[in-house]
Amino acid sequence: MTNSSRRKRKEQLENVLYTLPAIILVTVMMYIPFLMSGYYSLTQWNGIAKDPQFIGLANFISIFSGKSNFLNSLGFTVRYTIGFVIFSNVLALALAVALVKKFKLANVYRGMFFIPYIMSMTIVGFIWKFIFTQGFAKLYELVGAEALNWSWLGDPKLAFYSVISVGVWQGLGFYIVLYIAGLQAIPKDVLEAATVDGATASQKFFRVTLPLLGPSMTTCIFMSLTNGLKVFDIILALTKGGPGTATYSTTMQIYQEAFTNNNYGLGSAQAIIYFLVVLIITQVVLKVMSRKEVDL
């Protein structure tokens, strides 16, 4: 055996040994539980009985026949995600354009916007629950603004906007950082050339800057999309899905069905369906956004 072939075999062995622990961990933590969920979705099981009772597609029929709250929670999650994606990206982009400019307190403002992102989402939910209830009540006594006296967490319509507002506030700093990085990566000579050609500030932004921000926009939209679809912590701390089921997300519905109602079979079926929904949505969005990217 030559030295080159020995070296090649050694490299192959090292590649296998280095990647094997990660493959085992991912298999044990993700693939095996996913396959088990697929089996449990075809059974009636309370999580305690030794032998789950096989019932075929009964759980899936129950979901689509409207016997569970899954479809309603899915509708709320879709509406929440749309609002979260739009407001997060529009506000983050606007603030990034402002903060990318050089002025004295630019770094301070960047840090202030990023602080909520490093906080626990559960803590953020409890903080804003206090603000919506007691904080707004005290401000109403001082200012007298009627909006401060509204039941922001008790009215179904207001609770929906309250949850979106808190979610956007918590994650805004992360998207601002991504957009700032994208803005700083745009070549200055391209913007200077647009200025020489007589382009106005708005024309430079919409016809030059925005198209060149394609990769950053794809990343931010994809991240905000996934964060919106998996929303759980903030709603649990802020409204617990209320009032009634007005802010009941799909993740909360799956958790409630499996771990509170001890119906692991139906909970697994809901999880499988939601996995497919999320997979389809994310792949479609990624494909659409990648087509609109402009190479430098």
Q: Give domain limits for the chain.
A: 3-40, 67-291
Q: How far apart are CA 171 and CA 167, in angstroms?
A: 6
Mean per-residue pLDDT of the chain: 88
pLDDT tens sequence across 73-112: 999 999 999 999 999 999 999 999 999 988 888 888 888 9
Position with higher pLDDT, 101 vs 169: 169
pLDDT at 1 (0 to 100): 56
pLDDT at 166 (0 to 100): 94
* Closest of 217, 82, 215 to residue 161, by C-alpha: 82
pLDDT band at 207 (very low <50, low <70, confident <90, very high): confident
Over residues 258-277, mean pLDDT: 91
The tokens describing 101, both together, are 């400019």
* Closest of 26, 60, 24 to residue 40, by C-alpha: 60
Is domain 67-291 annotated with CATH 1.10.3720.10? Answer: yes
Strand, helix or coil for residue 200: coil
Expressed in angstroms, the distance from the first to the final Cα of the chain is 48
Judge contact between 48 and 40, C-beta under 8 A.
no
The tokens describing 113, both together, are 């916007």
The tokens describing 195, both together, are 């200025």
Strand, helix or coil for residue 181: helix
At which residue do the structure tokens 């106005």 appear? Answer: 200
The proportion of the chain whose per-residue pLDDT surpasses 90, expressed as a percent, equals 43
Q: Which residues contact 250 (CB under 8 A, 6 or more apart)?
A: 70, 73, 74, 76, 77, 229, 270, 274
- Beta-bridged to residue 43, according to DSSP, are 54
pLDDT at 159 (0 to 100): 92
Strand boundaries in the chain, DSSP class E: 43-44, 53-54
Position with higher pLDDT, 4 vs 11: 11
* Cβ density class 257-273: b for 16+ within 10 Å, e for less: bbeeeebbbbbbbbbbb
In the predicted structure, residue 33 carries a pLDDT above the cut 70: yes
pLDDT band at 295 (very low <50, low <70, confident <90, very high): low
Q: Give the DSSP letter string of 79-136.
A: HHHHHHHHHHHHHHHHHHHHHTS--TTHHHHHHHHHHHHHS-HHHHHHHHHHIIIIIH
Strand, helix or coil for residue 54: strand
pLDDT at 147 (0 to 100): 85
pTM (2 d.p.): 0.89
At which residue do the structure tokens 């990648």 appear? Answer: 290
